[in-house]
Amino acid sequence: MAINWFPGHMHKARKEIKKVMPQMDLLIEVVDARIPFSSENPLVPALRGDTPLIKVLNKRDLADPEVTAEWQAWLEKERGVRAVTLTHNQRAEALDILRLAGEMTPSHDRQKSALRVMILGIPNVGKSTLINTLAGRPAAKTGNEPAVTRAQQVIKLPDNILLYDTPGFLWPKLSPEACGYRLAVSGAIRSAVIDFEDVALFAADYLLQAYPDAVMERYQLDQRPRDGLALMDAIAEKRRFFSRGGIPDLHKVAEVLLTELRAGKLGRISLETPAMIEEETRAYEAA
């Protein structure tokens, strides 16, 4: 699977982050709760040093609560970071993150200098939404437009906190290969980059294995399809998506399946678990 992330942008973002990181008292990395591993940015662990880090598992409303709890425990145990969950429009909870930031920087005297907090994350995980929630006003541009370059913003918050937006844009981890697919399923990577039907097939296989009841209920299937392709065929049948000549229109099925999954129509679904990631990482490193 080839994904072209612009090397020029990557280089620029790395340089900018390297420059500003040492001035930060604390980092907040926003990830997608459905894919807390695949939506990490590889630069954060590489450049963080000793700066305290809070991971925000955002879009919790879309993720499986049990799996999200597993991720929180895993991140705290395996990575030694604080992991909290969040969903949009929860100002009190968002402000709790700032309180936690204060607790994690006990030697910092805010009477003397501002607490500098940087929000990091790959495109589309909800950074701007969080910044706006914290600011209590539209301070950052939000939208479904991954990979837009932008200048770094600094927002002044009460209690002498300065909030720094991600400088430039950060790219996700694209290996092991399944990470790239899961990013595509979540909507973080533009569908134009990876073949749409391939992404849907990946999602269909996974859903059948991890959430068979949710798919069967959504598409009113009586029998469990044997694999992802059979599931896509069954959806075509149920929804009457046929091309000329009566062939199942898999492109249409792919579009509907991915759109409905991303919109939470199949329920709260996580796309990866710590156990899956540990196994994939072992296989990837052994290869």
Question: Any binding-site annotation on 190?
Answer: no
87 sits near ligand GDP (criterion: CB under 6 A) = yes
Tell the smallest beta-carbon distance from residue 42 to ligand GDP (Å).
Answer: 17
Non-local CB neighbours of 213 within 8 Å, separated by 6+ positions: none
* Residues 238 and 223: beta-carbon distance below 8 Å: no
For residues 245 and 242, what is the distance between their CA atoms, to the nearest angstrom? 8
From the list 37-45, 91-99, 141-149, 269-277, the region that binds ligand GDP by CB under 6 A is 141-149
Choice between 58 and 273, CB closer to ligand GDP: 58
For residues 236 and 117, what is the distance between their CA atoms, to the nearest angstrom? 49
Per-residue binder mask for ligand GDP (CB under 6 A), 62-81, x = binder = x-------------------
Question: Any binding-site annotation on 173?
Answer: no
Closest among 163, 180, 72 to 120, alpha carbons compared: 163
Residue 173 C-alpha from the chain's centroid: 11
Out of 18, 103, 143, 282, the only residue in the binding site for ligand GDP (CB under 6 A) is 143
Question: Any binding-site annotation on 125?
Answer: yes
Residue-wise burial string across 195-216, b where 16 or more C-beta atoms lie within 10 A, e elsewhere: ebbebbbbbbbbbbebbeebbb
Question: Any binding-site annotation on 126?
Answer: yes
Non-local CB neighbours of 153 within 8 Å, separated by 6+ positions: 131, 139, 140, 164, 165
Judged by CB under 6 A, the chain residues 95 through 124 that form the site for ligand GDP are 121, 123-124
* Residues 116 and 25: beta-carbon distance below 8 Å: yes
Choice between 62 and 204, CB closer to ligand GDP: 62
From the list 6-14, 72-80, 103-111, 127-135, the region that binds ligand GDP by CB under 6 A is 127-135
Residues placed in the known binding site for GTP: 58-61, 124-129, 168
Binding-site ranges for ligand GDP (CB under 6 A): 58-59, 61-62, 87-88, 121, 123-129, 142-144
Residues placed in the known binding site: 58-61, 124-129, 168
